[in-house]
Structure 1
Amino acid sequence: MRTANLDDRLVLVRDDGKAVDVEKASDGLFSSDPQAVFDRWDAFTDWAATAEARSDHGVPFDERQLGAPVPRPRQIFAVALNYADHVDESAFDTPEHLSVFTKFPTSLTGPYDTVELPSSLVDWEVELVAVIGRHAHRVGVRDAWSHVAGLTVGQDLSERRLQLRGPAPQFSLGKSFPGFSPTGPFLVTPDEVEDPDDLAIGCAVSGETMQESRTSRMIFSVPDQIARISAVCPLLPGDLVFTGTPAGVGGAREPRRFLAPGEVLHSWIDGIGTLDTRLTAGLTHPHGPDA
């Protein structure tokens, strides 16, 4: 099953590419709110599997009308240093423990939106994003996938000066400027892809490929991440987990390479979809990263 946020309404995306409005097709059984569905995810998936759910006359749509598939999560977790090649390019030792930070919900944006750059040091990090569908607390690795509603494509945009400025790093602030969490275009349930633990992932800046890998190269798999995070924090329906990025970030290149106004950041994960994020110049705050 694929769902999307079409003009702030929850839709099912059929195999023919047409959108079915969930509230209308269910006669009001489910809300049009794309966020509300996660609190009733099991009931929703049961309904979506019925012939009635897909017999509605779907409508064609322009993907550029899509917003973030999960527009208002209560929590956003993100994992650092989770691909061995990214660990190497960052000059760190292979981690023994999961390294987790947060991204704030106000940083979320859709799959085709424009993002203002707050400085000349904004980097890209393409990521697989797992969306929680069931309350998860102290979940074991074997049961973790059953708590995932679906997967989507994400970018963990990062302003490197603020992120790394001392005396202690500011990962959460440096990665939470407005628009710094593009996601989409769809939420895809794990059964829609051949192997949810092994997906091709990558991104390009204005046509030049920067990152290209597979999610099977993660140090901590998606189930392992959910188990480790939920051992401490209950994961709530509709929460997001940004699962880490592979090698190829701009700050690790020689010479360093960052995003510039006018460029387009194209991100993809096979079986899930693509993001096209356009970059524009923004105002630098007097207490922001360039201060």
Structure 2
Amino acid sequence: MKIITYELDGRAGVGALHPDGGAVDLTEAGDALEIASNPQARARAERLMADPARRIPAPLRLRAPFAPRSFICIGLNYMDHVKESNAQTPARPVVFAKFANALAHPGDAITWYADVTQQVDWEAELGVVIGKPCYRVSKEEAMAYVGGYTCVNDVSARDIQLTDSAKQFTLGKTLDGFCPVGPCLVTTDEIPDPQNLAIRCRVNGTVVQDSNTREMIFDVATLVSYLSKFMTLMPGDLIATGTPPGVGMGMKPPVWLKDGDEVTVEIERIGALTNFCRVR
């Protein structure tokens, strides 16, 4: 099931994309996380999907499918991205965080001030959503705690993250709106193998990243298990699993997002997440 959160005529609701096109209202079944991870809510949603009267009239505005409880990000998790970053291959996952202010919805403008950063970069990433409390689980157990998947754009201010004298890694990652999420939350039954998904990023229609999640250094099960050794993962935690090669920083010369640019993250079986850029 591809679960969405939407706005229509000033009203917020929860729905799902219908295989035949359009969307179905599932608000009565619960929120997106409940439908993805709670069997009873999922059963109610399945019944509602079959009701033609639940179809949502177009047009509707998509929102982020859920509000992450925490944003847990993984760096340097594709080998070719390690090389383009002139970094060493990590022996264990590189972990950092974004904050709640970074959340952006599908179609939102990614906005920054020119006196704060002039080197804004894109990063297409598979988002893994935790579905139930998870602490000190093995790699073999880890996938049972995943509730679904989504697209993430880990937007990054490289001049703050890397070249500022203080190397403010977190600060450069968590400007307002620097983490678009969406367009939907896809349940795990629709993605039995998250390590075989095409992942792309396009800027103004030009493909800049084109890879597959099989190229991850640390796969989803390893990441969930590793993180759970240090912290209790809870429903709604979002793990951004790292970006493949093709970021602007790695180009010769570097290419940065600019005012008016359109950036799209697209992942097989999930869909496309598109945002526009605005510089003030």
Q: TM-score, normalised by structure 1?
A: 0.87
1:17 aligns to what? 21
Deviation of the 1:169 alpha carbon: 3.0
Aligned residue identity for 1:247: P
Asked if 1:277 corresponds to 2:275, the answer is: yes
Deviation of the 1:54 alpha carbon: 2.9
Deviation of the 1:22 alpha carbon: 2.2
Structure 2: distance between partners of 1:161 and 1:247: 19
Structure 2: distance between partners of 1:163 and 1:38: 37
1:55 aligns to what? 51
Cα pair 2:203 2:264 within 8 Å, conserved: yes
1:287 aligns to what? none
Deviations 1:131-169 (A, max 9, x none): 111111111111211111110111000001111245553
Deviations 1:111-138 (A, max 9, x none): 2111113332100000000111111111
1:214 aligns to what? 212
2:62 aligns to what? 66
Deviations 1:34-81 (A, max 9, x none): 46x3796343224334x355335232455760001112x221100000
Structure 1: distance between partners of 2:16 and 2:60: 16
Aligned residue identity for 2:144: S
Aligned residue identity for 2:160: L
Cα pair 1:17 1:60 within 8 Å, conserved: no
1:285 aligns to what? none
CA distance change for structure 1 residues 223 and 281 in 2, over 3 Å: closer, same or farther? same
2:125 aligns to what? 127
Deviation of the 1:235 alpha carbon: 0.7
2:42 aligns to what? 45
Residue 138 (structure 2) aligned to one of 140, 152, 158:
140
Cα pair 1:205 1:265 within 8 Å, conserved: yes
Structure 1: distance between partners of 2:54 and 2:17: 8
CA distance change for structure 1 residues 264 and 53 in 2, over 3 Å: closer, same or farther? closer
Aligned residue identity for 1:65: R
Aligned residue identity for 1:68: A
CA distance change for structure 1 residues 262 and 150 in 2, over 3 Å: closer, same or farther? same
Secondary structure of 1:146's aligned partner: helix
Deviates more, 1:149-158 or 1:113-122: 113-122
CA distance change for structure 1 residues 231 and 43 in 2, over 3 Å: closer, same or farther? farther
1:289 aligns to what? none
Structure 2: distance between partners of 1:161 and 1:67: 29
Aligned residue identity for 1:164: L
Structure 1: distance between partners of 2:106 and 2:211: 20
Deviates more, 1:118-127 or 1:56-65: 56-65
Deviations 1:10-31 (A, max 9, x none): 213222233332234x4xxx3x
Cα pair 2:35 2:42 within 8 Å, conserved: no
Cα pair 2:110 2:276 within 8 Å, conserved: yes
1:176 aligns to what? 174
Structure 1: distance between partners of 2:151 and 2:277: 18
Q: TM-score, normalised by structure 2?
A: 0.90
Structure 2: distance between partners of 1:63 and 1:168: 46
CA distance change for structure 1 residues 235 and 38 in 2, over 3 Å: closer, same or farther? farther
Please give the root-mean-square deviation of Cα atoms over the aligned residues, in Å: 2.0
Secondary structure of 1:145's aligned partner: helix
Cα pair 1:9 1:34 within 8 Å, conserved: no
Aligned residue identity for 1:214: N
Cα pair 2:32 2:185 within 8 Å, conserved: no
Cα pair 1:39 1:238 within 8 Å, conserved: no
| Structure 1 segments (4+ residues) deviating >4 Å | 60-64, 165-168
Deviations 1:184-243 (A, max 9, x none): 111011221363221000111112211000001000001110000011011110110000
Secondary structure of 1:144's aligned partner: helix
Secondary structure of 1:57's aligned partner: helix
Asked if 1:230 corresponds to 2:228, the answer is: yes
Aligned residue identity for 1:239: D
Deviates more, 1:152-161 or 1:185-194: 185-194
CA distance change for structure 1 residues 63 and 219 in 2, over 3 Å: closer, same or farther? farther
Between the two proteins, the alignment pairs up a number of residues equal to 273
